[in-house]
């Protein structure tokens, strides 16, 4: 099992390194832009916009953009940051079962002296490790960049946000690995996972802006991921964290049951 983990860590290192470069470059761009954004009267500009549009900005509205926490939450953390990492975990999850069936390599993998359970858990451990690494490495770099550009960002809020972001990504991985156990195509797993993530984000954003559905936003998985609130208040909701962890565990357990019974 440890041999599989070591092999997969080495195998995926280059790809993860590229993900980190992309994340770092975008974070750098937004932090470098922030001092200039502070000179713009965002509230006056947003006052001319429809109130439904302003609702997309979430708690704090346009005023939140005057802080680095609100600016990064709206422009980086709320969507692009998690989407890129989720694309990684969806690709990994899709490769483990569905991708192996699609490429007909899974027979060789299962002929090795290791059970299906250990194979799945080993590769899941690698996905968990690298998603954790991407989140924390990016946020450590953000803290360093903020120091370089003389922008103040709370260390505690950034740390707590990192924890929630990791749990959120792991929850999506739980969904993706479950899909991998029932589909026979990696592309299908990645596509459905990304579609689910996009759909959840759009629905949650609409619930902030549209009065008729504002009470239904709580049913979106994005309801458990609110970077602006976590960064600005430096506090997390333990129950929501447990729900995200439960989604990951349930998805993983279901995939184990299905994979062990699946005729490949």
Q: Can you give the pLDDT at residue 5?
A: 85
Pick the closest to residue 125 from 248, 244, 240 (CA basis): 248
Give per-residue pLDDT as tens, 161-171: 999 999 999 99
Q: Can you give the pLDDT at residue 39?
A: 67
| DSSP three-state, residue 80 | helix
Q: Can you give the pLDDT at residue 46?
A: 56
Give per-residue pLDDT as tens, 109-134: 666 767 889 889 999 999 999 999 99
Rounded to whole angstroms, the Cα distance separating 19 from 216 reads 33
Q: Are 173 and 128 in contact (CB under 8 A)?
A: yes
Least confident residue range of 46-55, 99-108, 131-140: 46-55
Give per-residue pLDDT as tens, 195-248: 999 999 989 888 877 778 888 888 899 999 989 889 989 999 999 999 999 999
Rounded to whole angstroms, the Cα distance separating 90 from 146 reads 31
Q: Can you give the pLDDT at residue 58?
A: 52
Which conformational region is residue 185 in: left (phi greater than 0), alpha (psi within -120 to 50 degrees), or beta? Answer: beta
Q: Can you give the pLDDT at residue 160?
A: 97
Q: Are 230 and 95 in contact (CB under 8 A)?
A: no
- Decide if pLDDT at 50 tops 70: no
Give the confidence band of 254 by pLDDT, cuts at 50, 70, 90.
very high
For residue 150, the number of C-alpha atoms closer than 13 Å in the C-beta half-sphere is: 3
Q: Can you give the pLDDT at residue 44?
A: 59
Give per-residue pLDDT as tens, 53-105: 455 555 544 556 778 998 899 889 988 899 999 999 999 999 988 888 777 77
Under 8 Å CB-to-CB from 263, ≥6 apart: which residues?
Answer: none
Both tokens of 118, joined, read 């250990």
- Decide if pLDDT at 146 tops 90: yes
Give the confidence band of 38 by pLDDT, cuts at 50, 70, 90.
low
Burial class (CB in 10 A: 0-12, 13-18, 19+), 195: exposed
């Amino acid at each position: 099992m440890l041999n599989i983990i070591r092999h997969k860590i080495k195998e995926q290192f280059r790809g993860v390194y590229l993900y980190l470069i992309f994340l770092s470059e975008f974070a750098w761009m937004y932090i470098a832009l922030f001092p200039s954004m502070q000179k713009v009267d965002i509230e006056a500009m947003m006052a001319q916009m429809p109130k439904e549009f302003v609702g997309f900005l979430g708690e704090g509205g346009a005023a939140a953009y005057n802080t680095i926490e609100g600016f990064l939450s709206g422009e980086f953390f709320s969507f692009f940051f998690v989407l890129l990492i989720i694309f990684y975990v969806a690709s990994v999850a899709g490769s483990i079962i569905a991708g192996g069936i699609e490429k007909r390599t899974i027979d060789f993998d299962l002929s090795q002296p290791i059970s299906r359970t250990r194979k799945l858990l080993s590769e899941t451990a690698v996905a968990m490790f690298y998603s954790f690494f991407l989140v924390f490495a990016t946020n450590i770099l953000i803290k360093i960049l903020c120091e370089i550009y003389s922008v103040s960002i709370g260390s505690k809020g950034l740390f707590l946000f990192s924890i929630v972001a990791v749990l959120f990504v792991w929850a999506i991985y739980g969904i993706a690995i479950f899909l991998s156990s029932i589909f026979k195509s990696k592309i299908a797993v990645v596509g459905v996972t990304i579609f689910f993530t996009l759909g959840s984000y759009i629905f949650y954003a609409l619930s902030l802006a549209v009065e008729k559905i504002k009470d239904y936003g709580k049913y979106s998985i994005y309801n458990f991921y609110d970077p602006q609130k976590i960064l600005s208040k430096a506090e997390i909701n333990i129950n929501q964290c447990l729900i995200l962890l439960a989604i990951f565990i349930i998805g993983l357990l279901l995939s184990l049951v299905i994979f062990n019974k699946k005729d490949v």
